[in-house]
Structure 1
Amino acid sequence: MNQDLFPEIRKTIIEFEEVEINEKRKVELAPLINYLREKLIHKEPLILNFIGVNNSHRSIIAQIWAETLGHYFNIDVRSFSGGFDSVSLSGKAIEGLRAEGFELIKRREKEIYFVLYSDEADPIAVFAKKVDDPINPPAGYIAISINPEVKKDELSDSETFFDFYPDYTVEQLKELANKVSEDLYYIFKSLGSAH
């Protein structure tokens, strides 16, 4: 495990270790974990694209945590995010990321943030964008929906599609920003033994 993360982020990750993922959730996450594990076993790249409706909050948080946890567990992952509308990045997402220890540097002329989780890793560029934005992979990615309103048939260029929260309503998802990072911790910890 990489220990070069900023102290507050390391502290948050240690807290994730204490979070108990219930059996129902483990069953829901198992197909995604198994799929990612197979890719690692076959030395295939993990290219994840977290899809939301507006790409302003949870999908960006998922993108950042996936990259951070990949670094922490020494798993080579490239993560992206997108939506079907492009609004501005949520102020609550920015506040939450800063509270967890991420450093965010805003590019002045645009609403683009460079997110740092370690002095040893490249920053992650994040901004609210559509799925088909040129910064995202055009095809071959693993689409992970974090909103029940996103449907597989809307993502024809994805390699495969996983519904991260299949039984949640939109109202319940509003309360799930922390759950995203906890679930990703469980996924990456499970993958850590696969490579």
Structure 2
Amino acid sequence: MSTKKSNLFLELENVIKQLTPESISKERKKVLQPLTEYIKSKASLNKEIRINFICTHNSRRSHLSQVWAQTMATYFEVKNVFCYSGGTEATALFPMVAETLRNSGFQVYKIAGEQNPVYSINYSQNAHPIIGFSKKLDDDFNPKSEFAAIMTCSQADGGCPFIAGAEKRIPITYEDPKIFDNTTHQAEKYNERSLQIATEMFYVFSQINS
């Protein structure tokens, strides 16, 4: 399913068209279902949909999830979706994440900072760019109430028994591509994880207006 109204960058839209949501297992669909239901419930009431993707360092998986979820909301014309990310601690958005997104057709620019750089991540000609940088989950940049907390790593899920302000807490965990850093498989494995997340966010958002 595609939409010309989204004005996604052509290279990015071509990547999305090659995703295979039919490959998602029944077990994994059960993991994703609470997020689908949360978004549907908000959309049915025309309420703002705030989703904060959380992992330990807010450096890899949570950013990939935030970016792909926001992109898929636009792709499937699900309105009033605002995606965020945070960590149990702040470090830095890992450069390979920016490179991986760039290779999928996003326009990614470093706009400030060195130790914890700030990136502009754009997916559409008309949408406001996503501002990507590492931050704690309760950072002022993130929502304080009426949001779903999506735990993208088991460490953060286990280490954060309570997320202040969250209406819903949903574990959707991913293996960390960090284990392939400084290996010949690094770029391949980061892309693999990114496309897994893209495929699952495609599946979730494809169901909202169907």
Q: Same fold (TM over 0.5)?
A: yes
Question: Separation in 1 of the partners of 2:125 and 2:196?
Answer: 26
2:202 to 161, 171, 185: 185
2:6–2:124: 8 Å Cα contact kept in structure 1?
no
Q: Any idea what the Cα deviations from partners look like across 1:123-181, whole Å, max 9, x if unmatched? A: 1111011111111111221100100112352312211100013xx66689975333111
Measure, in 2, the Cα distance between the counterparts of 1:54 and 1:155: 16
Shift of 1:13: 0.8
Unaligned runs of 5+ in 2: 181-188
Give runs of aligned pairs for residues 20-99 of structure 1, distance below 5 A: 20-76=23-79, 77-99=81-103
What is the match of residue 136 of structure 1? 142
Residue 36 of structure 1: how far off its partner (Å) = 1.6
Partner of 1:148: 154
Q: Secondary structure at the match of 1:149?
A: helix
- Cα-to-partner distance string for 1:86-105 (whole Å, 9 max, x where unaligned): 11111110110000010012
Structure 1 runs (4+) deviating above 6 angstroms are: 171-174
Q: After the TM superposition, which of the residue ranges 2-11 and 55-64 deviates more from structure 2?
A: 2-11
Task: Give the fraction of aligned pairs with identical amino acids, expressed as a percent.
Answer: 29
TM-score (norm 1): 0.89
User: Which residue identity does 2:32 align to in structure 1?
Assistant: L
Instruction: Calculate the TM-score normalised by the size of structure 2.
Output: 0.83
* 2:166 match: secondary structure: coil
How has the CA–CA distance of structure 1 residues 19 and 9 changed in structure 2, closer, same or farther, with 3 Å as cutoff? farther
- The alignment of Structure 1 onto Structure 2 pairs a total of residues equal to 191
Q: 1:7 to 1:155 in 2, by over 3 A?
A: same
Q: How far, CA to CA, are the matches of 2:75 and 2:8 in structure 1? A: 8
Q: Deviations over 1:18-60 (max 9, x none)?
A: 6511111112212221222111112121100000100001101
**Unaligned runs of at least 5 residues, structure 1:** none
C-alpha RMSD over aligned residues:
2.1
Assess, with a 3 A threshold, how the Cα gap between structure 1 residues 74 and 129 changes in structure 2: closer, same or farther.
same
